[in-house]
Structure 1
Amino acid sequence: MAWEVLSSIGTIAFAVSGAIIAMEEEYDIFGVYLLGIVTAFGGGAVRNILIGVPVSALWEQELFFQLALASITLAFLFPNKLLGPWNRWGHFFDAVGLSAFAIQGALYAVDLALPVYAVVVAAVLTGSGGGIIRDLLAGRKPLVLRSEIYAIWAAIAGILISFDLVRSDLLLYILFVCITVLRILSYLYKWKLPTRHIHSAS
């Protein structure tokens, strides 16, 4: 049950985030739908390629495509004044999508009996893959490549699930809320991972 719920939440959240980015970049209606769909399903497609699942499996998810299309339509029709800027709503939807899809991807890999590192990779790619594709298509630097903490939250979810520390539906929902809150806090308070800058000699 948790897998379906989190898949639905992630699909809606990333579809909306892709639509918001497209509207900020002043894409036409086709571009809004395209970027929303790519954001919602891009992470799952990349994950399937790496863990050996046919990408065609995505086309069997008719309900999720309907959810994505409905969500994009609502975002497109939503009044600009209520939708607000990307910095207010976009990061919230992105955090929700990251958390939901990271957990979904980890569960998917565990069900295939993949090793721990594969589960973590599946969590990270499913949680951040759609956002990476979205940002690249929109000409933006992907959030996952910035020093601000982002994909590490997806990796933590993958580790917890791979070691069977979080398996019941209740614990999965709690993990979802925790990862979402941590991602939002890391954005609000600018939590960063260590960085190193190399300056070339002039």
Structure 2
Amino acid sequence: MESTIWEILSIIGTIAFAVSGALVAIEEDFDVLGIFTLGFLTAFGGGTIRNLLIGLPMTALWSQQLEFYTALVAILLLIIFPQLVFRHWKKAELWTDALGLAAFSIQGALHAQNLHQPLSAVIVAAVLTGAGGGVVRDVLAGRKPIILRSEIYAGWAILAALLIYFHIVTSDLGYFGLVIALTVLRMYGYWKNWHLPKVTWVEREDKDD
């Protein structure tokens, strides 16, 4: 059953991030090749970074044929029927990013936990898998990575890691519920403009005694 959950989360995250990357590419006026490139790199970037970190061979990426074809179809549909999201372009971009973050964060945490990794590794796996594709997308699109500036972005991946590591969420239904909860929290944080504390420089004028 765990393999089924893994595959479902992988497909959800792949579709969401493929569309997210394609939307950013269209917004940045990329050509068709650029749209496919950014869509695929966003969809598979996080998992690739995670695999390299934990020592899985690159051949693990080439075995994801189902995910590849689902990403291909999702990007093709967006290119052929852009009017599907035309009226709600920005919302579609935000929702797909939030859904991809949620699904891949849980998948990354589960993967590290199944390898009996410590809490630190589970958190790193969740963050890199959940946010890695978005970082690749933003860097290639010439944007400041959203993980470094927007809301409590990586915090939701850390929350997923903690809930899974401490066995607070353990069932299949619980994992799907967590996907929904993290997606909604990510969007709610965006709407409410939640942010982690920032450090600002305060210039002091030297006064002569």
TM-score after normalising by structure 2: 0.92
Q: Is 2:58 the partner of 1:45?
A: no
Counterpart of 2:141 (choices 138, 143, 146) is: 138
Unpaired stretches in structure 1, ≥5 consecutive residues: none
Cα shift readout 1:26-83 (whole Å, capped 9, x = no counterpart)? 1110000000000000000111111111132111010000001011101111234743
1:84 deviates by 3.3
Residue 75 of structure 2: aligned partner: 72
What CA distance in whole angstroms lies between the structure 1 residues aligned with 2:119 and 2:97?
Answer: 25
Please list, as runs of the form range in 1=range in 2, the aligned pairs for 1:6-155 lying within 5 A after superposition: 6-80=9-83, 82-84=85-87, 86-155=89-158
1:144 deviates by 0.3
What CA distance in whole angstroms lies between the structure 2 residues aligned with 1:200 and 1:85?
Answer: 42
Question: Contact between 1:33 and 1:72, CA under 8 Å: does it hold in 2?
Answer: yes
What CA distance in whole angstroms lies between the structure 1 residues aligned with 2:44 and 2:85?
Answer: 26
| Structure 1: 4+ residue segments shifted above 6 A | none
What CA distance in whole angstroms lies between the structure 2 residues aligned with 1:54 and 1:164?
Answer: 28
How many residues are aligned here?
202
Q: Secondary structure at the match of 1:195?
A: coil
- Aligned residue type for 2:81: F
Residue 167 of structure 1: aligned partner: 170
Identity %: 53
What do you get for the CA RMSD once the two structures are aligned? 1.5
The structure with the larger Rg is 2
What CA distance in whole angstroms lies between the structure 2 residues aligned with 1:155 and 1:90?
Answer: 22
Q: Which range is displaced more, 70-79 or 14-23?
A: 70-79
Q: Secondary structure at the match of 1:141?
A: coil
1:113 deviates by 1.1
Unpaired stretches in structure 2, ≥5 consecutive residues: none
What CA distance in whole angstroms lies between the structure 1 residues aligned with 2:194 and 2:146?
Answer: 13
Cα shift readout 1:179-200 (whole Å, capped 9, x = no counterpart)? 0100010111111111111256
1:4 deviates by 1.3
Question: Contact between 1:124 and 1:155, CA under 8 Å: does it hold in 2?
Answer: yes
- Aligned residue type for 1:2: I
- Aligned residue type for 1:35: L
